[in-house]
C-alpha cells in the first residue's frame, strides 16, 4: 500500500486521499508550506475523474501493450527494409517542420542517394505535409482529430500509404528512390505535445526532442518523461539567442539531470548554423545497427551529467565513437533505469487511454 498512498515517502510534503467519483479514490500530494497540489503522486502518476489508480494502470497497460505489439512489428519491418525511423517530438512551434525542410534540402547535396520520406502528425490540416512535398520528398499527413499524439497503428497505416504512393511516383519519375534501397530515412513528425507522445512507441529507432530557445530553458525538468525518452535534444532557433532570455547552460544541465545519456545539438534551421553536426548525427543513425530504444525515466537525484557524451552540447565538433565499457556508476544507473522502466510502464496513464474506451 505504500506505493499507492506514498506513506513511505520521506519528503516534507504529505499525501491525502480525495474522492473523485462514486467512492473511487484518487491521490493528491499537498505541499504544507505553500499549498501546491501534485495530482501525479499516485501509482498511476495521473488523476482521472471517476477512475481509481488501479483502473488507470490497467487501462494504460492494456492500451499501451496493444500499441507496443504493433510498434515492434513496425520496428522489425523498418529494420528488414533498411529504414531508419526517427520520431521527432516537441511542443507546437519549436520549428520541427522548418528543420525537416532544411534537412531534406541539405541531404539532397550531402547524401543524394539516401531516400528520405516523412509522416506528418497534426490534429487537423495538411499544411506541414504540403511543405514537405514542396521539397520533393514524399510525405503522408496523419490527422488525429482530438487525439494528442501518433500511435503505432497510425504509423503502420501511414507507412503503407507512403510506400504505395512512393512506388507510384517512382514509376513516373526518376527523382526518388523507393524502400528497396539499402538505406532510407523516415522522419515521423509527431503532434506538437511535450506530454503524451513520450510514452507511445511508434517503432522508431530513436526519439529526437526539439526545443526552441523561445520556449524557456526549464522545459526538460517540467516535462521530464519526454526528455528521458529522447536520445537527442536539438536546441533550435539559436539565431534568436541575442533577442531572448534563455540560459543555454542551465537548459543542458536540466536535460542531463533528467537523462544523463542524452546527446545535445544546437542549431538554427533558418540560418544553417549547426546543421553540419545534425547531418553527421543523422548519417551515424542511418548506418548503425538499431536496437529497441530504452524507455528512460527520471534518474535518482544527484545522478549528475557525468554520463553525457562530450562535445554534443556545443553544436560543433560532434563526433561519434565506439561506446567504451560501462563504468560501475553508469552500469548501476542503467540497471536502475531498466528496473524503473518496468514499473513506470504500469504507472503512467495517458488521459487519452480513458477517452479511447
Q: Reply yes or no on whether the pLDDT at 24 is more than 80.
A: no
pLDDT over 60 at 151, yes or no: yes
pTM, full prediction: 0.72
Same domain, 99 and 207: yes
Q: Do residues 34 and 172 both lie within one domain?
A: no
Mean pLDDT for the stretch of residues 40-44:
84
Distance (Å, whole) CA 142 – CA 129 = 9
Whether the per-residue pLDDT at 121 is higher than 80: the answer is: yes
Q: What is the pLDDT of residue 349?
A: 46
* 92 and 32 belong to one structural domain: no
Each residue of 62-97: pLDDT tens digit? Answer: 889 999 999 999 999 999 999 999 999 999 999 999
What band does 48 get if pLDDT is binned at 50, 70 and 90? confident
Give the per-residue pLDDT at 76: 96
- Residue 228's pLDDT band, with cuts at 50, 70 and 90, is very high
Query: Tell me, what's the pLDDT at 23?
Result: 37
- Residue 68 located in a structural domain: no
pLDDT surpassing 50 at residue 176: no
Residue 247, domain CATH: 3.40.50.300
Whether residues 109 and 24 share a domain: the answer is no
Mean pLDDT for 218-222 is 97
Average confidence (pLDDT) over 38-62? 85
pLDDT at 167: 52
Could you read off the pLDDT of 256-291 as tens digits, one per residue?
A: 999 999 999 999 999 999 999 999 999 999 998 765
In a domain, 63, yes or no: no
CB atoms within 10 A of CB 34: 6
Q: Rounded to a whole number, what is the largest CA-CA distance in the chain?
A: 68
CA-CA-CA-CA torsion sign (309, 311, 316, 320): negative
CB 144 within 8 A of CB 111: no
Reply yes or no on whether the pLDDT at 143 is more than 70: yes
Question: 225 near 262, Cβ under 8 Å?
Answer: no
For 310-356, the pLDDT digits (tens) are 234 443 333 333 334 444 545 555 555 555 555 555 445 444 444 45
Asked if the structure places residue 62 within a domain, the reply is no
pLDDT of the residue at 93: 95
- The DSSP 8-state label assigned to residue 231 in this structure reads S
328 and 250, same structural domain? yes
**Same domain for 33 and 104:** no
pLDDT beyond 60 at 175: no
At residue 236, φ and ψ (nearest 5 deg) are: -100, 165
Q: Is residue 182 part of a domain?
A: yes
In a domain, 61, yes or no: no
Say if residue 135 is in the same domain as residue 100: yes
Structurally, how many domains does the chain consist of? 2
Q: Are 154 and 39 members of one domain?
A: no
In a domain, 95, yes or no: yes
Kindly report the length of the chain. 357
67 falls within a domain: no
pLDDT of residue 200: 96
Half-sphere exposure of residue 97: CA atoms within 13 angstroms, side-chain side:
21
Looking at per-residue pLDDT, the higher value among 56 and 190 belongs to 190
In eight-state DSSP terms, residue 177 is: -
**Alpha carbon distance 245, 243 (integer Å):** 7
pLDDT at 302: 34
Cβ(222)–Cβ(198) under 8 Å? no
Q: In what order do the strands lie in the sheet with 37-38?
A: 14-21, 24-30, 37-38
Do 114 and 33 share a structural domain? no
7 and 154 share one domain:
no
State the cell numbers at 245: 532570455
Q: Are residues 220 and 180 in the same domain?
A: yes
DSSP bridge partners of 116: 185
In a domain, 66, yes or no: no
| Segments forming the whole domain that contains residue 22 | 2-56
Residue 198 has pLDDT above 70, yes or no: yes
Average model confidence (pLDDT) for the chain? Answer: 79
Higher pLDDT, 299 or 30: 30
Query: Is the confidence at residue 303, as pLDDT, over 80?
Result: no
**Under 8 Å between Cβ of 210 and 95:** yes
Examine the domain organization and report whether 203 and 295 are in the same domain. Answer: yes
Amino acid at each position: 500500500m505504500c506505493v499507492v498512498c506514498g506513506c513511505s515517502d520521506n519528503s516534507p510534503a504529505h499525501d491525502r486521499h480525495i474522492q473523485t467519483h462514486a467512492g473511487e479514490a484518487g491521490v493528491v500530494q499537498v505541499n504544507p508550506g505553500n499549498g501546491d497540489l501534485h495530482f501525479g503522486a499516485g501509482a498511476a502518476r495521473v488523476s482521472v475523474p471517476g477512475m481509481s489508480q488501479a483502473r488507470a494502470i490497467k487501462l494504460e497497460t492494456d492500451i499501451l501493450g496493444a500499441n507496443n505489439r504493433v510498434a515492434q512489428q513496425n520496428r522489425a519491418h523498418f529494420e528488414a527494409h533498411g529504414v531508419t525511423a526517427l520520431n521527432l517530438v516537441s511542443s507546437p512551434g519549436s520549428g520541427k517542420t522548418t528543420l525537416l525542410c532544411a534537412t531534406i534540402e541539405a541531404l539532397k547535396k550531402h547524401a543524394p542517394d539516401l531516400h528520405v520520406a516523412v509522416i506528418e502528425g497534426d490534429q487537423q490540416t495538411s499544411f506541414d505535409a504540403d511543405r514537405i512535398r514542396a521539397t520533393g520528398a514524399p510525405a503522408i499527413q496523419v490527422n488525429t482529430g482530438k487525439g494528442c499524439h501518433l500511435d503505432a497503428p497510425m504509423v503502420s497505416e501511414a507507412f503503407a500509404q507512403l510506400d504505395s504512393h512512393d512506388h507510384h511516383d517512382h514509376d513516373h519519375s526518376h527523382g526518388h528512390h523507393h524502400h528497396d534501397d539499402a538505406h532510407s530515412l523516415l522522419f515521423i513528425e509527431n503532434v506538437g505535445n511535450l506530454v503524451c507522445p513520450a510514452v507511445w512507441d511508434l517503432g522508431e529507432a530513436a526519439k529526437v526532442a526539439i526545443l526552441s530557445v523561445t520556449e524557456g530553458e526549464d522545459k526538460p525538468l517540467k516535462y521530464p518523461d519526454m526528455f528521458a525518452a529522447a536520445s537527442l535534444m536539438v536546441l533550435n532557433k539559436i539565431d534568436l539567442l541575442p533577442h531572448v532570455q534563455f540560459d543555454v547552460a542551465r537548459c543542458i544541465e536540466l536535460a542531463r539531470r533528467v537523462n544523463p545519456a542524452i546527446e545535445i545539438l544546437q542549431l538554427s534551421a533558418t540560418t544553417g548554423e549547426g546543421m553540419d553536426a545534425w547531418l553527421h548525427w543523422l548519417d551515424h543513425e542511418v548506418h548503425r545497427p538499431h536496437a529497441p530504444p530504452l524507455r528512460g525515466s527520471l534518474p535518482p537525484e544527484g545522478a549528475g551529467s557525468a554520463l553525457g557524451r562530450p562535445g554534443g552540447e556545443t553544436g560543433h565538433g560532434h563526433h561519434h565513437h565506439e561506446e567504451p565499457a560501462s563504468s560501475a556508476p553508469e552500469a548501476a544507473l542503467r540497471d536502475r533505469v531498466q528496473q524503473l522502466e518496468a514499473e513506470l510502464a504500469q504507472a503512467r496513464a495517458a488521459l487519452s487511454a480513458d477517452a479511447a474506451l
